Structure 1
Amino acid sequence: MRILYLELRRVLRTPVTLKLLITAFIISGIIAYLPISYVHYSYMDSNHKAITVSGIKAIQEKKRLVLQGKLTESKIHTAVNEYQKVTKKYGSIYRGDFPQKVYEEKVFLFINILDRINEVYGSEMKTGRGSYTDKISAHYAAEHFYKRGSYIDKISADYAAKNFYKKCTEHLKKQTSDKNKNIKQQAFNMYKKVNMPFEFIYGYGSSDAADYLLFLIFILIIICTIITAPIFSSEYQTGSDNILRCTKHGRVRFAITKIISAILISSISFSICISTYIVIEDSIFGWDSLETSLQMVSSAVSLPSLSVGEAQMLTVAAGMLSLFAVVSFTLFISSYCKSTTVSLVISIIFCFLPSLISKSVDNNIMNWIRLILPAGGVGVGNGFDYELQNLTFLKFGSHFIWSPYVIIGAAAIAIPLFMTLTVLAYCKHEAA
């Protein structure tokens, strides 16, 4: 314990480490503010003047107005019926000249329900974040923009209400129509466990808070990587490791102590920053909003039977696991390299590599490489939360594995593997 205490004090007293930890906490507060500040709500006051509010006030207004609770047949029937009445009289709700007052009173309270109905009954393309825009041309988007919602115009309220959940299953069939039969079977087995009717409460899931959580996790992992990279290599540069090895516990035990200190500093810092973010977001958006079904805020055919709150906790847990994997990998690189600069550059490159792969190539082999890397569960524009909502299955022989399972499994293997390799590399360096 004495050695561990001294090592922790040595690392924490480093000026760069202190600055990075303070920066991490400040960034957490800034990122927590962003999704709240981006919430806007416009309405007409008693003098018919357009008023726009943002932040906490906008969130409170939306929570007051939006229809919440279980997505029952009666709510679906009412939403479709009201929508059709309004569009018949005023035209598309997405036109710039649509009456603001009418939108507030007749449309806004149903908007989340209408989005799910439109997806289930009308989408002919795969769902998931970004998939619509990936598959349509700019010309098509411009030509059909104001026709959005036309699927709801073509169905009766009775039909929409009675068949919604049946159509969800049919929608999933359409999304998996070009996939292997084993993938289809796994997808349907998972989807059978989804709780129906769906639950919706305006709040965390209705904002960009989940995306910013992923971004914060990635930033924290980068910061912890910078802190961890010099743990071994800095002592190689100064030669102080030769002195330490002359002590009674200056070899294997000392290497293990360094690993433990790096893990402790990283995990405690991560926990404090993520807890700060979550408490701020959930307190302002409402803790009750965490009960919302994942299917109501992403895609109606999201496979896991999870609430928004459960998805949030899983994302944080996967983020912590990815943190341990990245820190373990960085320690291995540090124990192998004699230069802190080389150690840092290699570690940072591997942090960004999964994001670069996801943006450039999409096939089974590259998906395997992307997801089994230490930072496979985090990134810019990709990450565990995105994989939870997608229909990505990776082929392994005759089997197909859902991508979130690959992320968790790979990280669980990487942690002890790279820790062991770190100790071995340190001992090998001793022999050299």
Structure 2
Amino acid sequence: MPGNKAVVYKEPGRVEVESIDYPGFVLKDGPGVNPDNVGRECHHGVIVKCVATNICGSDQHMVRGRTTAPAGLVLGHEITGEVVETGRDVEFVKVGDLVSVPFNIACGRCRNCKEGKTGICLNVNPDRPGSAYGYVDMGGWVGGQAQYVMVPYADWNLLVFPDRDQALAKIRDLTMLSDIFPTGFHGCVTAGVGVGSTVYVAGAGPVGLAAAAGAQLLGAAVVIVGDLNVERLAQARSFGCETVDVSQGDPRDQIEQLLGVPEVDCAVDAVGFEAHGQGSDSGTERPATVLNTVMDVTAAGGAVGIPGLYVTGDPGASDEAAKVGSLSIRIGLGWAKSLSFATGQCPVMRYHRQLMQAILHDRVQIAKAVNATPIPLDEAPRGYREFDAGAARKYVLDPHGVVSGSAAA
């Protein structure tokens, strides 16, 4: 049995790469594991050798100490890998399959799964609907920023790539299917993006850039990305987006300069609860700023997709209300404009096969759009530091040297 190393959250601002147990098909007790999940048998699962496992902005919230994540939690929910062992009840997935692992853990049996709502599965997390690998309050499933990880309900959850060599040649793109590409795309779909749409995407981090690429794939006429970070705005412009620097003032005014009108058809919030203010207030955290901005710049009758993360517990919030997820949003403005809103985890399985096809047949270059940057697993602490400092990159951890050695390298 091989060893296993993983990225472990130690305390706010610090992660380390440590040796952990090789995964098995029975859940063990550990940091963040719900007691009702301890001893749970997962013979429907597989062991995956992680070919690529990415650092996500959602991980960064935990590492900053902005959630109730416990020390010792193994991180990582963006997993692409090779199946190296199957549980006794696995029927269709085979050893040797190269697969994408949706970050949502879903049973495939409950009402929500059967309705395609895999982000809020009722059977995998005793705390609440919905689960994910290596994430706070998500049931305690061990994370996949590791050499090996167990994936439950494998026949249901896994997306098997049809051709191994073709997949390895595009592995930097395909690793985005586990989360950020479907998540950004979901934000656009729920916002009603279509052919000829004008779209405002708040946030030029990886999810925002993925949303912008998704909007282009859906046929948007103009995609405008707003952020404070000039390097990330330059990355958005590198694949044809317009940009607004929100540190320079109200996005509404800058949108009017671009479009001739101050509103767009559709908007996507790809920032979430650690949002900052705009203009002279851009150095101050204002958690409701983006939500209020997207309502302001979306035309009456439009829709807003909100894939950006909002939490029910934020110990680092600036006021008592925000610590429990209560924000001062202008719901009256949204009501007056008859806006529609869509929130919550992206149900990855709703989109990942179609987006895989778009990648494999050269309809989109998502790795280029988000500036995918492979680094060894042992360099994960550096990746976290640089990402937290605002690097215009999507860090792809490469535990076995496959990504750096692939045809895409």
Higher Rg of the two aligned structures: 1
Structure number with the higher helix fraction is 1
Structure number with the higher strand fraction is 2
TM-score by length of 1: 0.25
TM-score by length of 2: 0.26
